[in-house]
């Protein structure tokens, strides 16, 4: 456990709960089940997340997929010239991600293990991984977004990518999740 800033008592409690659940597993935790998760649009869902899948390997596979994609094999709403431009920009973003964004938040969290971290002040548990399954219990309220043609094309291509299923869940104190059959109440 690496930290470079002060960690609140609430965060230490969450860290210990997760570490205890992991230590009860011989192989360590790979899957997390998050029940009744409410997102920022008030959608409520049950989710199964695999924190053991390597994002970098998935990213490499997606780069190769995009380089070799035959656009005519799929049905897209976007024109081909826009799709080609969107594809090239997606490849470039995978190769050189925004480093400022990732470096700016390092000291705010304590990593428990790959894909699981705790915010040092709030004690909010963040679970990041590959969403294996999502069951929507209650639909959310999503605003209509006016996206550019290129953004729409990128989103169409992203739906075909493995990295598109990587997601992060912020789990507050008072919620529960299951890891390898062990229920963790925060």
CB 94 within 8 A of CB 81: no
Residue ranges of domains in the chain = 9-185
Instruction: Note the pLDDT tens digit of each residue in 4-34.
Output: 457 888 788 778 777 776 666 555 557 888 8
pLDDT at 4: 44
CB 31 within 8 A of CB 179: yes
CB 36 within 8 A of CB 137: yes
Instruction: Give the chain as a 3 state SS string.
Output: CCCCCCCCHHHHHHHHHHHHHHHCCCCCCCEEEEEEEECCCCCEEEEEEECCCCHHHHHHHHHHHHHHCCHHHCCCCCCHHHHHHHHHHHHHHHHCCCHHHHHCCHHHEEEEECCEEEECCCCCEEEEEEEEEEEEEECCCCCCCCCCHHHHHHHHHHCCCHHHHEEEEEECCCCEEEECCEEEEC
Instruction: Note the pLDDT tens digit of each residue in 59-98.
Output: 999 999 999 999 999 999 999 999 999 999 999 999 886 5
Q: What does residue 39 show for φ and ψ, rounded to 5 degrees?
A: -90, -175
Instruction: Note the pLDDT tens digit of each residue in 110-123.
Output: 888 778 888 888 88
Neighbours of 92 (CB within 10 A): 11
Nearest to 14 by CA among 113, 105, 114, 117: 117
User: pTM of the full predicted structure?
Assistant: 0.76
pLDDT at 82: 96
Nearest to 175 by CA among 78, 39, 67, 82: 39
């Amino acid at each position: 456990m690496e930290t470079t800033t002060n960690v609140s008592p609430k965060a230490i409690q969450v860290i210990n709960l997760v570490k205890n659940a992991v230590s009860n597993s011989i192989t360590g935790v790979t899957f997390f089940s998050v029940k009744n998760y409410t997102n920022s649009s008030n959608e409520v869902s049950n989710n199964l997340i695999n924190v053991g899948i390597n994002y970098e390997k998935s990213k490499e596979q997606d780069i190769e997929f995009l380089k070799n994609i035959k656009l005519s094999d799929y049905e897209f709403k976007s024109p081909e010239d826009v799709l080609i431009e969107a594809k090239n920009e997606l490849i470039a973003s995978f190769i050189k991600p925004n480093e400022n964004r990732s470096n700016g938040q390092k000291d705010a969290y304590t990593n428990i293990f790959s894909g699981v971290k705790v915010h040092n002040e709030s004690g909010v548990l963040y679970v990041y991984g590959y969403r294996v399954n999502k069951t929507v219990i209650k639909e959310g309220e999503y605003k209509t977004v006016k996206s550019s043609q290129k953004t729409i094309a990128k989103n169409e291509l992203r739906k075909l990518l493995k990295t598109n299923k990587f997601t992060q869940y912020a789990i507050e104190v008072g919620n529960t999740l299951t890891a390898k059959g062990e229920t963790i109440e925060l």
